[in-house]
C-alpha cells in the first residue's frame, strides 16, 4: 500500500477538523488510523498520562480506548503512567 493509499483510508475516518468520527474495526484500517494518531507524539519525548489524554482528546473522546490500542499495538510504550512513542511510521527528509 502506498502512502497516498494509506492517507485515503485514514481520511475516511476523519472529520474536517481532523478528529476521528469513528475508530475502525477492521484491523488493517485500524492500524493505519493508529499510525496517524501516533504521529501527534514526538519521538524521544516522554509524556505524562494527562498530556497523552489531552493529545488523544483532539482525536476522539474515548481517550482510554485510543491509549490502550496505541500501547497494545506498539505505537506507544507505557511505564509508570509515562508514555513515549515507540512505533509508527517516520517521515524522512
The average pLDDT across 26-31 equals: 95
* 41-79: pLDDT as tens digits: 999 999 999 999 999 999 999 999 999 999 999 999 999
Per-residue pLDDT, 1 = 74
Per-residue pLDDT, 8 = 94
Q: Would you say residue 35 lies in a domain?
A: yes
Mean pLDDT, all residues of the chain: 94
Label residue 50 left, alpha or beta by phi (over 0 means left) and psi (-120 to 50 means alpha).
alpha
Q: Would you say residue 76 lies in a domain?
A: yes
Q: Would you say residue 9 lies in a domain?
A: yes
Q: Would you say residue 90 lies in a domain?
A: no
Q: How many domains does the chain have?
A: 1
Q: Would you say residue 51 lies in a domain?
A: yes
Range of the domain at 57: 3-85
End-to-end CA distance of the chain: 20
Q: Would you say residue 67 lies in a domain?
A: yes
Q: Would you say residue 92 lies in a domain?
A: no
Q: Would you say residue 10 lies in a domain?
A: yes
Amino acid at each position: 500500500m502506498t502512502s497516498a493509499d494509506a492517507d485515503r483510508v485514514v481520511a475516511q475516518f476523519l472529520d474536517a477538523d481532523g478528529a476521528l468520527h469513528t475508530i475502525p474495526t477492521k484491523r488493517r484500517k485500524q492500524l493505519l488510523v493508529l499510525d496517524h494518531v501516533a504521529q501527534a507524539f514526538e519521538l524521544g519525548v516522554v509524556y505524562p498520562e494527562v498530556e497523552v489524554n489531552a493529545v488523544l482528546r483532539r482525536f476522539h473522546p474515548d481517550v482510554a480506548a485510543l491509549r490502550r490500542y496505541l500501547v497494545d499495538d506498539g505505537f506507544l510504550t507505557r511505564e509508570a503512567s509515562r508514555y513515549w512513542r515507540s512505533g509508527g511510521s517516520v517521515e524522512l527528509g
